[in-house]
Amino acid sequence: MIGSDRAMLILLAVVAVLPPVLSALGEPFLTVILSRALIFATAALSLDLILGFGAMVSFGHAAYLGIGAYAAGILAANGLTGLEVQVPVALAAAGVFALVTGAISLRTSGVHFIMITLAFGQMAFFLMTSLSAYGGDDGQALAAPSTLFGIAVFDGAARFFYATLAVLALAWLGLRTITRSRFGRVLAGTREDPARMQAMGFSPFGYRLTAYVISGMVAALAGVLLANHAAYISPSYMSWARSGELIAMVALGGMGTLTGPVLGALAFVLAEEALAKLTTHWRLPFGAAVVLAVLFTRGGLMGALSRTRGRK
């Protein structure tokens, strides 16, 4: 864990100095791409709480990303652009959706859990496509950028980048505190042996449901950022394919490490952008590369880094 913490702090420090470096190199647009990577890093981090620590494979996690985006978009369309309003609404909406769907989904396990989370995710997706007042299947532009008590915190690529980086750092710190608490240890125990934890007097269902709700709320926070980054809200944010991408980011970086999903999301988004510039058929080599990386880097990128450090 200590090594993971050190890796995360180094990663955050390196990422923090990139905008001025990129600007000096004449590539300021890369800051925009990095901001997008940080948003998905926050979403992947939230998924790692239930996937890496709770062994809950959710194929509907992107629904919470969309809930956050639509909370920001719908409120902005009605003149409420303050993050002090949008964020609580996004968290509350995601929390209620996660509480209801999680209470049902967690009564199943294995493939059944995967399929029911996929079903709930698709329900949310089709609900948003039916909202013709907000663009329906086509989505719509964000009416106005979000502000914080009247301050334009997202004004400019560099300011947006550092705001996104701050959210990621706070999310990591919060989830780090949770996973190292008694709650986190019990959650990890339910992953290893739910029956034994039940015999010890703990309720696996209650702990898993709480983690599920927290995970959804953090993902919704990333959704608010995504709406502002794209200046657009769309049902595509909630698709099952997006959920699959988030799972791939977590697996690529290393499940159950918190730092791994951040590293995996950065590698995923940056590799996607690089390959898209090389060929119009970039999805084939990109998909193959991700599959190979997950299969042959035991423990993901974090596992590979740990083994490299151990050989020195």
Domains and CATH numbers, the chain: 2-311 (1.10.3470)
Give the pLDDT of residue 309. 61
Give yes or no for a contact between 121 and 238, defined as CB atoms under 8 angstroms apart: yes
Torsion of CA 12, 13, 16, 19, to 10 degrees: -120
pLDDT of res. 302: 83
Beta bridge partners of 140: 233
**Separation of alpha carbons 250 and 219, rounded Å:** 14
**What token pair was written down for 206?**
């209650």
Residue 244 contacts by C-beta under 8 Å, 6 or more apart in sequence? 59
Query: With 0-12 CB in 10 A as exposed, 13-18 as middle and 19+ as buried, what is 71?
Result: buried
Share of the chain above pLDDT 70, in %: 96
Q: Give yes or no for residue 251 having a pLDDT over 80.
A: yes
- pLDDT for res 4: 79
pLDDT in tens, 55-69: 899 999 999 999 999
In this model, does residue 292 exceed pLDDT 80? no
Q: What is the pLDDT of residue 2?
A: 47
Of the ranges 32-36, 157-161, 169-173, 273-277, which one carries the lowest mean pLDDT score? 273-277
Banded model confidence at residue 277, pLDDT cuts 50, 70, 90: confident
Q: pLDDT (tens digit, 9 = 90+) per residue, 195-250?
A: 888 888 888 899 999 999 999 999 999 999 999 999 999 999 999 999 999 999 99
pLDDT digit string, tens, across residues 157-184: 999 999 999 999 999 999 999 999 999 9
Q: Tell me 238's DSSP state.
A: G
C-alpha span between 118 and 98 (Å, rounded): 13
pLDDT for 203: 84
pLDDT of residue 310: 56
pLDDT band, very low/low/confident/very high, at 3 (cuts 50, 70, 90) = low
The amino acid sitting at 232 is Y
Q: Is 282 helix (H, G, I), strand (E, B) or coil?
A: coil
pTM of the model: 0.93
Q: Give the tens place of pLDDT for each residue, 81-136.
A: 999 999 999 999 999 999 999 999 999 988 999 999 999 999 999 999 998 888 88
10 Å CB burial of residue 2 (0-12, 13-18, 19+) is exposed
The tokens for 204 are 């696996």
Mean pLDDT of 18-27: 89
- What average pLDDT does the chain have? 90
For 241, the token pair is 């394919």
